[in-house]
Chains A and B, each alone.
Chain A
Amino acid sequence: MSRIKVFVPRETSAISVGADDVAIAIARKSKQLGTDIELIRNGSWGACWLEPLVEVQIGEQRIAYGNVEAGDVDSLFEAGFLEGGEHARRLGPTVEIPYLINQDRWTFWRCGLIAPLSIDDYIAHNGFKALTAAFEMGSDAVIEAVTASGLRGRGGAGFPTGIKWRTVADAAGEQKYIACNADEGDSGTFSDRMLMEGDPFTLIESMAIAGYAVGATKGYIYLRSEYPLAHRVLSKAIAAGRDAGWLGADIQGSGADFDIELHLGGGSYVCGEETAMLESLEGKRGIVRSKPPLPAISGLFGSPTVVNNVVTLASVPNIITLGADRYDGFGVNRSKGTLAFQLAGNVKRGGLVEKAFGITLRELIEDFGGGTATGRPVKAVQVGGPLGAYLPAEQLDTPLDYEAFSEIGAMIGHGGIVVFDDLTNMAHQARFAMEFCAIESCGKCTPCRIGSTRGVEVIDRMIAGEKRDENYDLLVELCDTMEDASLCAMGGMTPYPVRSVLKYFAEDFSPPGEQ
């Protein structure tokens, strides 16, 4: 009799709410009962609100049990959960959970499904098919497919990926590089982390495809230090990839060489900006570079470099195997394909929702998210991280589309959606935007370095009720200066959340009693 497979995620969010304890309790109990189970530590499906989410393989199906605590394990065994038995925690088949089936899983389809560090499991689920196909297609055809898919940079800037790859491929240079930006610092975002923890070989395969396409033999992953589990998983996956001949010299006899070096950040937010990241990869202070030259022409160590976000890269394999037109078939206008949205903050059902562009914020927050966790009305939603605008409840019907967001002075960024309820004081959020910029500014340009500190001071005076009208004008002027004259998005976009608070939540600047 084959052993019953039990899945408990080894993923940061699941572990943060007790998944390791649940795994230990299940292993202990099954040993005690003499039941032979195979405990698989999978990635997360992304339904964070159901974590720890335990699954049992019954025939072809996986039966899910949600919000399992270590204290539930005895009763789960008593209820016969290894046969899919009824229990208060039982959710039914994983593939029937509405939160999951209503998604368009393109990039994250393997996440939760497979054992992240099993290269055999990866290969059994179409792993490395895209890289093999890429070798057969030739580098030009790969770049053409990526261009035709309409894929744009998922890190936040939304630059067309195919054009970037073409630029690097055409650039003169002996050595070229792929630099994967895994410095996912925006609050409300965790999709890079989930992919790296739940399906690391996809990132490795994607980087190898990018390397082959543009003629780069070396790749770097710049991973933030706040993700220790992702670091362990990626380190092991890279080693396993090398052992199996999917990284290194002459990959699978293709004649193509490609290897990856994993680098850790030092806790600096601005190192998520591509040129600061390159400086940091070179061992220096993470100071933003002036552009031009673009990294595609002169990037890491002065060589042509593709800088792509984790999710951007990880979207490529299916574009190769399923076809660019399939990907292009998702989405609206110039926002093609899917984005892994992340529902976070004060939301009842937080987690990762991969959907085609065009869905509205309301659909994401209400239909998927179930409204706020506190059950109170939504006051504001910050989309796109600390540099993203705070949208009032009236704007929830805005479709998620790069250009539609740009029109209302907002941005989609890396797809993080942070929900705030009506008890939030938005003046404090505006202050935090400036404060965060002051803490994280690299210091190279004055508007960002000084402007952010002045911004905190001006907002403090407004909150205290000092010369509110004059300080309001001063703050607007400061925002103009930062936006127009900063070197990068750190100083240039910190005004976005601030302006949105001034525009939609100005009453929150009034001292108590005046509201």
Chain B
Amino acid sequence: MSVSNGYDAGIASNIIADFDGKPEMLVQILAHIVDRFGYVSEDGIRQLAEALNLSRADVHGVVSYYHDFRTEAPGNHIVKVCQAEACQAMGSRALTEHAKGALGVGLNGTADDVTLEPVYCLGNCACAPAVMIDGRTYGRVDAERFDELLGALGDTDGGS
């Protein structure tokens, strides 16, 4: 489930229509837009405000509130490393440092089309530490397994 970075107003418009253009569906519409494009663009916020009859400030307020709703295009792949307590107990702090080193970025940074993000619990706490890559959750991830998973991303892209 990697995301497409081309923000398409036509597709966004269809998503808005799927929710009948109801302002109370704004969080749902944003969730679907971000799922589709990886982010919501500045123009996208304007489009939403118009379509839902809300002020741009209203839409911006909702966008900026939720962690999921990025306003910048992420990389083609999104790697989330769990930062919460159950994973901490199994070494997620060291895994996070390893991930930063392996990707050469900090949290919320993007390099080589891969975005590294923190996440606070994937509900995989009995198989910690947990990582989510492109919407798929992995458990019992040590540095070695992390590198394998990362390597597999390269393979699907035709080598990196």
Contacts and interface: CB of A to CB of B under 8 A. Distances in A.
Interface in A171-229: 184-190, 192-193, 225-229
Contacts, number: 156
B125 A263 contact: no
A185 B123 CA distance: 8
A281 B23 CA distance: 11
Interface in B114-141: 119-128, 130, 132, 135-140
Interface residues of B, number: 42
Interface residues of A, number: 62
A75 B131 CA distance: 30
Interface stretch (B6-14, B24-32, B71-79, B96-104): B24-32
Contact of A267 (B23, B67, B126): B67
B85 A382 contact: yes
B125 to A, nearest CB: 3
A447 interface: no
Contact of A228 (B23, B27, B135, B138): B135
B86 interface: yes
Contact of A12 (B30, B90, B123, B140): B123
B120 A436 contact: yes
Question: B-side binding surface: helix, strand, loop or mixed?
Answer: mixed
Contacts of B126: 13, 48-49, 190, 342-344, 347, 350-352
B38 to A, nearest CB: 13
Nearest to A192: B123
Contacts of A49: 126
A416 B127 CA distance: 14
Interface stretch (A2-10, A88-96, A283-291, A324-332): A283-291
B127 A51 contact: yes
Contacts of B66: 265-268, 285-286
Given A225-B31, A266-B31, A418 B127 contact: no
Contacts of A351: 126
Interface of B: 1, 22-28, 30-31, 61-62, 65-69, 84-90, 119-128, 130, 132, 135-140
Given A16-B127, A418-B125, 13 more contacts: A13-B127, A15-B136, A187-B85, A187-B125, A193-B123, A226-B122, A226-B123, A265-B27, A266-B68, A287-B65, A346-B90, A373-B90, A440-B120
